[in-house]
Amino acid sequence: MKLMINGIWRGDVEPTPELRAQQMIHAGRFRDRISADGASGFRAEPGRYHLYASPACPFSHRVLIVRALKQLEDIVGLSILHPHWDSPNGWGFADTALSTIDGAGNGFRRLHEAYRASAPDYTGKVTVPVLWDRRSCRIVNNESLEIAAMLNDAFDAIAGDRGPDLCPADLKSEMDDLNDGIARRLSVGVYAVAGATHQGAYAAAMDQLFGFLDELDGRLSDDRRFCLGERPTLADVLVYATLARFDAVYNPLFRASRRRLVDYPHLPRLLKRFHALPGVGATLRYDHILTHYYDGDWAVAARRGIVPELPMTNWLAPDRTTQTGERP
């Protein structure tokens, strides 16, 4: 386990009950907000804020998508962490084909340096994404959903093109309910499958994950264009960031083997439609994703004794192409 304890980086910590009790998985500790009027203490200004992000991580990918959809590339800076984070030093900056140096001007070589600079006594995991304030030289926020919501509207007054409103007021209640399900049953659900320590936990996690995917596919059966109707919302961002990784990573590597994304009638069309929105496709980096998952700690089958489910669609299933006249 890699984390900081009282401001000291540790790359070899045993996950004690005390650390587990702090629930340091993807919980952001820095929870300040950027606002258009500056009432929050962080006024929306061009060039002031910078993202430390990784296209490999689905939570980090969310903010890259919103940044692209809202056309904030010239407003909010970006530095890319190397996808190979499974090392004693964790997430790192470097001038390589898969990463950049720290473009915010701090000279950080490791992401944990940004956490220590923001809170010298910080204890917790060092995660992406990070929204950095260049003026106060500290982290504003490291909770992906909150950063995505900020990017959606905080800069509208200064951005040249506001882009789509991903959090429309008339859909807020329905979107919040759906986002809660996405968080619990999909975004975290795939990791619950991967992290199961015994067969019963694996079976329960599989039922929850694929129950949600079945419901989501059914929601799209009325030919709506996006999750909540004809307009893309933050719910589509969350779904896309997870499902774009499903057949490449979660199905084979995490043992989420019951179905592939392509086995659903409606979900692939949703992803293709969202992928085609301006700027979205460029945020999907399979070179980062595959390097991160297959050359990292998830590639080690540390939890023996978990037998994957047999896929519901396999070579024994009836041939969908049918009636070709070919001999059996």
Strands annotated E in the chain: 3-5, 8-10, 49-53, 77-80, 130-133, 138-141
DSSP per position, 74-111 = TTSEEEE--S---STT-SB--SBTTB---TTSS--SBH
CA distances (Å), origin 215, targets 115, 192, 199: 39, 19, 24
Which residue, 123, 261, 133, is CA-closest to 186?
A: 261
Catalytic hit among 57, 122, 167, 293: 57
d(Cα 171, Cα 231) in Å, to the nearest integer?
A: 10
Torsion (CA) 114, 115, 119, 121 in degrees, nearest 10: -130
d(Cα 2, Cα 274) in Å, to the nearest integer?
A: 34
Q: Is 57 a catalytic residue?
A: yes
Q: Is 167 a catalytic residue?
A: no
Q: Is the dihedral of CA 280, 285, 286, 292 positive or negative?
A: negative
Is residue 152 a contact partner of residue 167, using CB atoms and an 8 Å limit? yes
Pairing relationship of beta strands 77-80 and 138-141 according to DSSP bridges: unpaired
d(Cα 92, Cα 110) in Å, to the nearest integer?
A: 4
Catalytic (active-site) positions: 57, 191
